[in-house]
Structure 1
Amino acid sequence: MPAASAPTIRSRRQFLTLLGISAAAVSCGTATATGPGPGSGSGSQVKTLKYQGAVGSVSLPELAEDLGYFEDVKLDWVGNTISGPQDIQSAATGQTHFGSAFNGAVIKLASTKAPIKAVISSYGSDQYSYGGYYVLEDSPLRSARDLIGKKVGMNTLGAHYQALLDIYLSRGGLSKADAAKVEPLVVPPVNTEQSLRQKQIEVGVLTGVLRDKALAAGGIRPLFTDVELLGPFSAGTYIMTERFIKQNPDTVRTFVTGVGKAIEWSRTTPREQVIARMTEIVKKRGRNEDTATLQYWHSYGVAETGGRITDKSFQLWLDWLGERGEIKQGQLKAADLYTNEFNGQGKG
């Protein structure tokens, strides 16, 4: 594979520009602007939720709908998302009714005074579903200090995997000056294994099917994984605008509780049955998608029962972004970023 081109290796500043949404832009959206005013009965609430999907995969809301957990609420697919920040931007500006992203990206969006609220966890890391930072089997890299001057390939900058890298370096005793000498680069996930094996990067972040395929081929080993670093944790959430939540409380409750039930169904149902159900869902929607990668599904990785959100889900990233100067220290409180009010799953 040729060396990564300039457009591929993007700066953190370019990435974070995706999140530069003003509150004014949020108020003039389309999807979230529809619906009744405060105090309206459930009969006049929005019952069809516009959303973005992902090729060849089944999101928790899609699973919940297929399992019948949404009752009279239906989903309306409007296309596929290109990234978490783009997905929540679409929800914040009213192009869709909900979106999912890394909690650090949710914080960045909230810091622009966008009136959004996280309503349920969407993904995370556990013993079955995690992100690993891999090196070649014969690599001399064994510790955080060994990464000084080395290249680390990941799917995007300024998000989940750069945050975990920074935490790993900090816990490894590196000063900010030394940590700055470690070079995170954007490498498309499908090219990460090849870039690592061809020694264009010294460390590559691999997840899901791409991780499993690379491990099956042999010759690589994990330097560390995110779940080893932090333990099981929920890393992302579904967000909605505060306006939509206020105008459509019954719909939001049905959606959130349904997603919570789907999380527990996926957790307690034999893996083969979950994969079979997902395969049926992908085939039924008729978008000419390959279902082969579904065989590598292990878990959604959500840590808490029913996807209920905790302060911990946001505080780690609040601290990280504050230390980096991405947000003002103390600007936001974890408890103000989310609500469990509409989640009837996992109470108590």
Structure 2
Amino acid sequence: MGKPHLPLWRWMTVLLVAALLLTGCAGNGSPKETGAAGEAGKGGDGLFKIRVQSQTGFNEFWVAEELGYLKEEGIQLEYVGLLGASQAVAAILSGDNDLFMNHPDTIVRAILSGAKLKITTPGILDSQEFPHMVYFTKEGSGIRSPHDLAGKKVGVSSVKSCPDLVFTEWLRQNHLPKDAVEFVVMPDKQQEQALKQGLIDVATLHPPWIKRAQKNGGVTMLTNSFEVVKSPAGGSSVRGFSEKFIQEHPDIVIKFNRAMAKARKWINQNRKEAEAIVAQRLGIKPEDCSSFYFDENDWVKEEYVQAWLDMMIRNGELEEGKIQAKDLYTNEYNPYYVEAKKQGAL
């Protein structure tokens, strides 16, 4: 028997979310994974299958799989294919995906469009040493500051997401309008070559592609996300589920949080080994693979979510008071938060 038809209002919500959101942070590589996924739930092996979009950049999921952290909790990730942020969220609403991984601004847009989602799990943060994004120019281009960018083309993996929002924030800080530049959408993986060919004037790269561009040479860093936002929040990428999934599988959310906390901390403490794991999955050399700095907080911190709302408000992408940071996340299914609360440590 097939899956029951969604009511018309639900399909309208799915389509509206997909129309408003574009692809999110992704490395745009060629992952060695396939995506024929079934229903969420226990398989014949006794593991609970969580469906998630296939990964194209540096991520903690592959590390958690390799180290057995997910299996210890009775969880197996099932990859549903390459999805942009909008597609991944729409797939959650239609029941074809379970887990999202986005920046808070994407979740804001989805919730305001009617999606019932909750952030449950920390992901990455930003740092000067391991930046979330680096904006590169071609060596010798003469572009040294935002005031050299009038009419220039900026490569971004998406719009209405982290690459253009952070860049727009940098323009605003320097008293320049968003339309001072033209955003050109293309995968991170293609931007280094496009920059050197003169198809774009600025390339916006995430891990793992930052290190490769620096190693190849011929590029100059214009700025990075940490320098713009001046806070670890500049890289805040979070994970979560639909409210329906959380209500139906609260124990799985708790176990997922436990596995991910282990993986995030292990990556920061064993960076070379983590880069080797991801490089193998992407089919690139470990020495060409850069990595994110992962959030070592055991639960979601409101100030990191709030920073993205503030950035959206400052840049005219969100009306002040329209939504609160506390509306976006829950820590009630995080075992570390629950224990700290029980001990009176909060």
Q: Where on the TM-score scale, by shorter chain, does this alignment land: which range?
A: 0.7 to 0.9
**Counterparts of 1:1-348 in structure 2 under 5 Å?**
17=19, 19=21, 31=39, 47-55=48-56, 59-70=59-70, 71-126=72-127, 127-174=129-176, 176=177, 179-230=178-229, 231-233=231-233, 234-269=235-270, 271-278=271-278, 282=281, 290-306=282-298, 308-323=299-314, 326-345=317-336
Please tell me the residue identity of whatever aligns with 1:197. Answer: K
Q: Report the Cα distance in structure 2 between the residues aligned to 1:219 and 1:15, rounded to whole angstroms.
A: 39
Q: Report the Cα distance in structure 2 between the residues aligned to 1:273 and 1:206, rounded to whole angstroms.
A: 22
User: Residue 257 of structure 1 contacts residue 342 of structure 1 at CA under 8 Å; is this kept in 2?
Assistant: no
User: Residue 211 of structure 2 contacts residue 290 of structure 2 at CA under 8 Å; is this kept in 1?
Assistant: no
Q: Percent identity?
A: 24
Task: Give the equivalent residue in structure 1 for 2:9.
Answer: none
Please tell me the residue identity of whatever aligns with 2:266. Answer: W
Q: Tell me, what secondary structure is at the counterpart of 1:335?
A: helix
Change (3 A) 1:263 1:293: same
Number of positions where the alignment pairs a residue of Structure 1 with one of Structure 2: 302
Q: Report the Cα distance in structure 1 between the residues aligned to 2:175 and 2:296, rounded to whole angstroms.
A: 30
Q: Tell me, what secondary structure is at the counterpart of 2:140?
A: coil
User: Residue 321 of structure 1 contacts residue 327 of structure 1 at CA under 8 Å; is this kept in 2?
Assistant: yes
Q: Tell me, what secondary structure is at the counterpart of 1:339?
A: coil
The normalised TM-score by structure 2 is 0.76
Q: Tell me, what secondary structure is at the counterpart of 1:95?
A: coil
* Per-residue CA distance 1:313-347 (angstroms, 9 max, x = gap): 22233234345554443121001101122223585
Cα displacement (A) at 1:166: 0.8
User: Residue 15 of structure 1 contacts residue 157 of structure 1 at CA under 8 Å; is this kept in 2?
Assistant: no
User: Residue 15 of structure 1 contacts residue 158 of structure 1 at CA under 8 Å; is this kept in 2?
Assistant: no
Q: Report the Cα distance in structure 2 between the residues aligned to 1:241 and 1:50, rounded to whole angstroms.
A: 12
* Per-residue CA distance 1:46-85 (angstroms, 9 max, x = gap): 9332223225x67423432443333342224243223233
Please tell me the residue identity of whatever aligns with 1:60. Answer: E
Q: Tell me, what secondary structure is at the counterpart of 1:331?
A: coil
Change (3 A) 1:96 1:73: farther
* Per-residue CA distance 1:153-190 (angstroms, 9 max, x = gap): 1111111010011110111122x4xx322211113323
Change (3 A) 1:81 1:123: farther
Q: Report the Cα distance in structure 2 between the residues aligned to 1:264 and 1:16, rounded to whole angstroms.
A: 33
User: Residue 151 of structure 1 contacts residue 182 of structure 1 at CA under 8 Å; is this kept in 2?
Assistant: yes
Root-mean-square deviation (CA, aligned residues, Å) is: 3.0
User: Residue 75 of structure 2 contacts residue 256 of structure 2 at CA under 8 Å; is this kept in 1?
Assistant: no
User: Residue 136 of structure 1 contacts residue 221 of structure 1 at CA under 8 Å; is this kept in 2?
Assistant: yes
* Per-residue CA distance 1:17-61 (angstroms, 9 max, x = gap): 1549xxxxxxxxx957x79xxxxxxxxx99332223225x67423
Q: Quick check: 75-84 or 322-331, which moved more?
A: 322-331
Q: Report the Cα distance in structure 2 between the residues aligned to 1:170 and 1:15, rounded to whole angstroms.
A: 27
User: Residue 151 of structure 1 contacts residue 183 of structure 1 at CA under 8 Å; is this kept in 2?
Assistant: yes
What stretches of structure 2 of length at least 5 have no aligned partner? 1-15, 23-37
Q: Tell me, what secondary structure is at the counterpart of 2:80?
A: strand
Q: Report the Cα distance in structure 2 between the residues aligned to 1:339 and 1:52, rounded to whole angstroms.
A: 22
Please tell me the residue identity of whatever aligns with 1:93. Answer: S
Q: Report the Cα distance in structure 1 between the residues aligned to 2:184 and 2:279, rounded to whole angstroms.
A: 34
Q: Report the Cα distance in structure 1 between the residues aligned to 2:39 and 2:321, rounded to whole angstroms.
A: 32
Change (3 A) 1:217 1:49: closer
